[in-house]
Structure 1
């Protein structure tokens, strides 16, 4: 899978949030480099799982929509009366 790249502004925000999390939840102060390492770890290990789940959810939604569309199309068909 191709590595996901975030714009610098988003990456900086995530790194800031990681630092904030460590400060508030663990009472630890970590620097930019450590937070960047945490971010890279999760992006390489968690992102593919989330990505695959999003694809699975999308496939499920598309199947539902196609089924509904197919039902709507059948409802539009003219009923042909058989005469004998």
Structure 2
């Protein structure tokens, strides 16, 4: 699987969230380098679980929409005359 890559802005926002979480919830000061390393670890080791869940959710949406389309097409059928 291709590694998840973030833009510089996305990476900065994600590490800021990690640092704030550590500060607010754990009373720990997380420096920028450890935050970057933690983000890399999360992406590499558990990011796939989140990615796959997103794929499953997207598949469910597409399946439901396809069923709606099929129903709409049936609704367009005309009776035999």
TM-score above 0.5: yes
The structure whose RCO (Cα within 8 Å, separation 6+) is larger is 2
**2:47 alignment counterpart:** 47
Gaps of 5+ in 2: none
Moved runs in structure 1, 4+ residues, more than 4 A? none
> Could you list the per-position Cα deviations for residues 53-75 of structure 1 after superposition, in whole angstroms to 9, with x for gaps in the alignment?
11111111111111111111111
Q: How far apart, in 1, do the equivalents of 2:3 and 2:57 lie?
A: 21
Root mean square deviation, CA, Å = 1.3
TM-score normalised by structure 1 residue count: 0.85
Structure 1 or 2: larger helix share?
2
**2:27 alignment counterpart:** 27
Larger Rg: 1
Aligned pairs (5 A) from 1:1-84: 1-81=1-81
Q: How far apart, in 2, do the equivalents of 1:9 and 1:61 lie?
A: 29
SS of 1:46 mapped into structure 2: helix
Count of residue pairs brought into register by the alignment: 81
Q: How far apart, in 1, do the equivalents of 2:80 and 2:9 lie?
A: 62
